[in-house]
């Protein structure tokens, strides 16, 4: 069994930031990631609120950080963590293929898109239902799509799709959008975006291969080629039984969870603001506190 000082679970912006600080301090760190490095950054088509860049797309920012991590020779394991076992003197991180013993764990597992949980929703994922316009938007070139939601992610998805698709209908359950004003103003530049307020999708219709229409709670059925769901997120936190609130991991001022030597940062934790800048700050603090503990400073 390999042994490490610190195992970082998740290689989104939080996990990568933590690994930069740990490695530069001479700590033996392993990052475990079950998908592509970058996490949610890979879904963001335009970032305009991260200092230092007036505009940058998420995948480019993810690759920039990953390059920095690689230049430091941070060790990576591309595998899914399935469980963490904790005892007083060690922690065992179990992946699908192996077990790693370590002194400290950082949980930077982020969060994933919430689903509506309607009938046939799972069946149509990849056959008309998507959670990422940047990833799948081009499949709907010159076609009609709907975006479900009304917050920042939904409006960002709609703006991106409006450049590709024939028509984009935002279906929102409230009577006004909750996205930032700057994003909402962007909608006015497009005459192919329509907004249906106080409306919910009730049913997906289609054959075995693709969605053809959706039925709304106003009684209408509209023909669509694609449905982009952007109704919020669910934290990923099922690896160990630390204290949580509404599914989000609770941490103290040092970013330590209710279990000693297990830290958490980024979108997996309970906080007020879920952004790149906050994830980076929390990861910096979590890593720095672990470094202080290891070095006894
Ligand atoms: C469409 C969209 C647009 C956005 N736009 C902006 C913006 O403009 N500005 C801004 O500041 N923020 C934006 N955000 C939010 C920002 O992207 C997130 O706050 C930030 O990326 C969170 O980073 P994270 O590292 O905490 O989590 P994540 O990015 O979610 O990364 C978590 C990583 O952990 C991995 N993982 C999870 N479970 C396991 C496991 N069991 N084993 C191994 N690996 C695991 C995942 O695969 C993932 O790579 C946007 C988000 C989205 C979805």
Q: For 69-114, how does the pLDDT look when each residue is reduced to its tens digit (9 = 90+)?
A: 999 999 999 999 999 999 888 999 999 899 999 999 999 999 999 9
- Helix/strand/coil for 33: strand
Cα diameter, the chain = 65
In this prediction, residue 239 carries a pLDDT of 96
Q: For 190-231, how does the pLDDT look when each residue is reduced to its tens digit (9 = 90+)?
A: 999 999 999 999 999 999 999 999 999 999 999 999 999 999
- The continuous run of DSSP H or E covering 82 comes out as strand 81-86
Rg (CA), the chain: 21
Percentage of the chain modeled with pLDDT above 70: 100
Q: How far apart are CA 50 and CA 295, in angstroms?
A: 32
The catalytically annotated residue of 103, 136, 225, 267 is 136
Residues 154 and 230 sit within 8 Å (Cβ to Cβ): yes
In this prediction, residue 126 carries a pLDDT of 87
In this prediction, residue 12 carries a pLDDT of 98
Q: How far apart are CA 63 and CA 86, in angstroms?
A: 33
Q: For 247-266, how does the pLDDT look when each residue is reduced to its tens digit (9 = 90+)?
A: 999 999 999 999 999 999 99
Instruction: Residue 271: name the closest of 260, 259, 282, 263 by CA.
Output: 282
Helices H / strands E in the chain, number of each: 7, 19
Ligand 1 mutation target, pool 9, 110, 131, 132, most atoms within 8 A of CB: 110
Q: At what angle do helices 13-24 and 58-71 cross, to 10 degrees?
A: 20
Which residue's alpha carbon is at the smallest distance from atom 49 of ligand 1? 39
In this prediction, residue 226 carries a pLDDT of 97
Tell me the mean pLDDT in the region 46-74.
Answer: 95
In this prediction, residue 88 carries a pLDDT of 80
Q: At what angle do helices 276-295 and 13-24 cross, to 10 degrees?
A: 30
Q: How far apart are CA 265 and CA 216, in angstroms?
A: 38
Query: Is residue 135 predicted with pLDDT exceeding 90?
Result: no
Instruction: Residue 9: name the closest of 101, 93, 98, 103 by CA.
Output: 93
- In the structure, which protein residues have their CB atom closer than 6 angstroms to any atom of ligand 1? 9-15, 32-35, 39-41, 43-44, 47, 49-50, 80-81, 108-111, 153, 156, 236, 266-267, 274-277, 279
Residues 8 and 29 sit within 8 Å (Cβ to Cβ): yes
In this prediction, residue 256 carries a pLDDT of 98
Cα 149 to Cα 176, 271, 286: the distances in Å are 11, 22, 33
The beta strands (E) that lie in 172-225 are given as: 193-196, 201-206, 211-216, 221-223
Q: What are phi and psi of 110, to 5 degrees?
A: 65, -150
Q: Report the nearest atom of ligand 1 relative to the CA of 80.
A: 42
Domains and CATH numbers, the chain: 2-112+233-295 (3.50.50.60), 115-229 (3.50.50.60)
Q: For 137-194, how does the pLDDT look when each residue is reduced to its tens digit (9 = 90+)?
A: 999 999 999 999 999 999 999 999 999 999 999 999 999 999 999 999 999 999 999 9
Non-local CB neighbours of 46 within 8 Å, separated by 6+ positions: 55, 57, 156, 159, 160
Percentage of the chain modeled with pLDDT above 90: 92
Q: How far apart are CA 103 and CA 9, in angstroms?
A: 14
Q: For 105-120, how does the pLDDT look when each residue is reduced to its tens digit (9 = 90+)?
A: 999 999 999 999 999 9
Residues 44 and 156 sit within 8 Å (Cβ to Cβ): yes
Query: Is residue 45 predicted with pLDDT exceeding 90?
Result: no
In this prediction, residue 236 carries a pLDDT of 87
Query: Is residue 61 predicted with pLDDT exceeding 90?
Result: yes
Q: How far apart are CA 151 and CA 154, in angstroms?
A: 5
In this prediction, residue 237 carries a pLDDT of 85
Q: Report the nearest atom of ligand 1 relative to the CA of 233.
A: 53
């Amino acid at each position: 069994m390999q042994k490490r000082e610190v195992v970082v679970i998740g290689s989104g912006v939080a996990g990568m930031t933590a690994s930069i600080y740990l490695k530069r301090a001479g700590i033996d760190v392993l990052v475990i990631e079950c998908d592509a490095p970058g996490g949610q950054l890979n879904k963001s088509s335009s970032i305009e609120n991260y200092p230092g860049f007036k505009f940058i797309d998420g995948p480019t920012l993810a690759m920039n950080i990953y390059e920095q991590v690689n230049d430091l020779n941070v060790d990576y394991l591309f595998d899914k963590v399935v469980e963490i076992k904790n005892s007083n003197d060690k922690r065992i991180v179990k992946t699908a293929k192996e077990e790693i013993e370590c002194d400290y764990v950082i949980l930077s597992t982020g969060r994933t898109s919430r689903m509506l949980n309607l009938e046939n929703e799972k069946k149509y994922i990849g056959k008309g239902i998507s959670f990422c316009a940047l990833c799948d938007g081009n499949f709907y070139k010159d076609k009609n799509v709907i975006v479900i939601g009304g917050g920042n992610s939904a409006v960002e998805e709609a703006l991106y799709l409006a450049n590709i698709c024939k028509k984009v209908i935002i279906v929102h359950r409230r009577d006004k959008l909750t996205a930032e004003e700057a994003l909402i103003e962007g909608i006015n530049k497009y005459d192919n975006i329509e907004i249906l307020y106080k409306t919910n999708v009730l049913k997906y219709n289609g054959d075995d291969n693709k969605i053809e229409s959706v039925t709304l709670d106003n009684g209408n059925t509209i023909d669509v080629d694609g449905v982009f769901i952007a109704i919020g997120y669910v934290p990923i936190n099922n690896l160990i039984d630390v204290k949580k609130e509404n599914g989000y991991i609770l941490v103290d001022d040092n970013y330590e969870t209710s279990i000693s030597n297990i830290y958490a940062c980024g979108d997996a934790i309970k906080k007020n603001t879920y952004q790149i800048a906050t994830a980076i700050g929390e990861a910096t603090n979590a890593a720095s506190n672990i470094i202080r503990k290891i070095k006894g400073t």
